[in-house]
Structure 1
Amino acid sequence: MLRVQDVVVAYGERRVLDGVSLEVSPGELVALVGPNGAGKSTLMGVMSGDVKPQRGHASVDGVDVAAWRAKDLARRRAVLTQEQRLAFGFSAVDVVRMGRAPWARTDREDEDDRVVAESMLRTDVVHLAAQPFPTLSGGEKARTSFARVLAQETELVLLDEPTAALDLRHQDQVLAEARALALGGRAVVAVVHDLSVAAAYADRMAVLHGGAVVADGVPRDVLRPDLVGEVYEHPVDVVEHGGRLLVVPHRLHTTPTPQEETPWSSAR
């Protein structure tokens, strides 16, 4: 459904993406992981059609994203960006309803009310329906925007850091919904920073480092202490707990015990 071929994106002298290729098929959730500055969001921009590469291309259903008409592409892929900004005080339910815009004046328009209500229920934002979007917390905005993506009902879903502003419960809720989309036959790509969370929900993990994909496979093959430690420049342990992989970073500093003298305690 989605193919990225030999993509190069450069800003001045800096190559953010350097020959990246990746394929995503219907029915799978692919987590993009990697350190800050690895090129994850830029790759998502290429996939969505918002970033034009200097070389290579991204295609949806075999057609270059740049060749799609905007409305037709909006019926094939939905995008959740990192920042959730609106200049006007739309209510939360109005924001979710924006996801139905591509289906205006089609037979699917009759389903708008049902789809919007179900999407808000699935993201736990029903109680926020009448609230102005700008007044919501960061996590509430993120869940409302995710509800908009669900309401768009596309076969390809691109999520850029969908859990960044969320608490523990809602992180699991959002990724469980993303997983459900994949189980339902959608192709889902999500940028996820928490490697343990990504491993719990993703079918595949693609590791970006220095603008290149340095690993791509099932979580158990990708999450090796040597690879993760090298990519993140920080030593880690990878352990299994309850059938799930957990990435545990080595702590560089320890918290002083109550008996240990500290500069601030001696100054009192």
Structure 2
Amino acid sequence: MKTLNGKVALVTGGSRGLGAATAEALADQGADVAISYVSSAEKAQAVVEKLQAKGVRAIAIQSDQADTAAAKPLIDQVVAHFGKLDILVNNAAIAVQGKTVDAPDLDTLNLDRQWQVNVMGAVATTRAAAPLLSNGGRIIFIGSLLGGRVPFAGAADYAGTKAAIAGYAKGVARDLGGRDITVNVVQPGVMPTDMAADVLGDGVPDALMDLHPIRRIATLEEVSALVCFLAGPNGGYITGGVIDVAGGLGI
């Protein structure tokens, strides 16, 4: 049974990693899917073709989340193409290689861009989508376990952006609850993505893996399955939630 037949979803940052996996999972459940991407039209088109092969409608829209003015045109294009928007997955984000805040060579320029993309960009997209989102719709933010627990040094700014998202989502849940729109945060730990590799290098250090009661990293399928559940009919009474998919890291 395809629980999302007739629904339209937007997955920001959907050309790779968790965004692409989430777009495919939503399509598997029957949703028509728009993805946004920043630079790689080729990768985005490859995802669109995979989605279309599943029998759903799909488009890719170039949009840089660092530019808050791009949020409204993005949402308008989705609604113009599909006629509505039911599900918003705020997935797009960046991770900057962290250093401790007292490091003399702290990369403040890129850390500030991280706040712009991860927080202000997601806020702008949510604000643009909220008036047009169908009653009974869904907003799902991809946060991070680091938004609630920080088990290692050098992650202050990234953790701060994800903590901000968790608080913002609770406020949006309160604002939109009267329209039966649910708003939740999915907080993965380490995943097999390019973004994680950029920060951790090749493989997960043993010291970090030892902090996991379930001693492995998450699969993209496990995380995207939770997104689909929250987007579906059985997630209709879950809102303001912040749900970890992290194998117990940090407990």
TM-score over 0.5 (shorter chain): no
Structure (1/2) with the larger helix percentage: 2
Structure (1/2) with the larger strand percentage: 1
TM-score for the superposition, normalised by structure 2: 0.35
TM-score for the superposition, normalised by structure 1: 0.34
